[in-house]
Amino acid sequence: MPSSRKDAMDKLIDQYLNFLLVEKGLARTTLDSYSRDIVRYRQFLLENDVFAPAQTDTALILKHMIALRNAGLGARSRARHLVSIRGFYRFLVHEKIIARDPSRLIDLPKLSMRLPDVLSVDEVSRLLAAPDTSRSAGSRDAAMLELLYAAGLRVSELVNLKLQDVNLEAGFVRVLGKGSRERVVPIGMHAKNKINSYIENSRKQILKRQLSPYLFVSRGTRPITRQGFWKLLRRYATRVGLTKKVTPHSLRHSFATHLLERGADLRAVQVMLGHVDISTTQIYTHVARDHLKKIHVKYHPRG
């Protein structure tokens, strides 16, 4: 194969990834996933003596999807691969490099609806009360857990918060989410009180007169890591006897579900979670719907 033909394909892939980074503003981790998928697809094309996007067709893409399945990839991973490939072809059509998108007729692999693990209000209350707030680290942990549930944050958003991102007087937190999209989320009185107590007392003790821009710090001026937070969360879940699998996302799921169960608007929950597409938020309505069914059966005269 002439190297010029391979280089031409590589150049198109680089242009597409640059488009995702600059125009779409995708997060680095998301961009890395797209890159791996496209590079794997390019390798498949080269193995089948296809050196230009215009040479591909729907049947060839289906062959690739079958190869991924035979390699042991699950439906969710294959769906992500197809999304990456679709985006690549849409970009090529938009740039008038090819005339038609050969991936447009291929359906995504069927995914089973996985309902998130949700804690009850009582379980959340027990978990949030677990840290020993008489200790500096315990006060910090209590503030972190409370804020995670109060604002429905992702763990990466929580550990990367800066001191300036929290406005306790107004009662909100400014969050930089996926794709560098910023959102403002209100927080309740419990979170405000625990964060204020941590900032005024424990944070200063942990820093020992050093300075750090991060809200939640560990030793020195370093922020708590994602792995560090996972460990302390598991420790507190075990301490209060929770038998469910508790992850940082459990509190985010619980935040959304508890709001919907109490009548919150789905659109408002979408904004607070930072979901671009409301269909992502709608998974929580399945959880809330089960709750509503139980209420209907219990209280409706003909339930």
Active site residues: 154, 178, 249, 252, 275, 284
Structure tokens given for 180: 């560098």
Pairing of strands 166-167, 182-186: unpaired
- The answer to whether the CB of 102 falls within 8 A of the CB of 30 is no
User: Cβ contacts of residue 106 below 8 Å, gap of 6+?
Assistant: 58, 61, 62, 65, 82
CA distance 294 to 289: 9
Structure tokens given for 21: 């980074």
Question: What's the chain's length in residues?
Answer: 303
How many CA atoms does the CB half-sphere of 163 hold within 13 Å?
12
What is the DSSP annotation of 213-224? SBSSB-STTPBP
Which has the closest alpha carbon to 83: 100, 57, 53, 108? 108
- The answer to whether the CB of 217 falls within 8 A of the CB of 224 is yes
What is the DSSP annotation of 84-118? HHHHHHHHHHHTTSSSS-TTTTPPPPP----PPP-
CA distance 297 to 303: 4
Which has the closest alpha carbon to 17: 42, 45, 46, 38? 38
According to DSSP, residue 246 is labeled: -
CA-based max dimension of the chain: 77
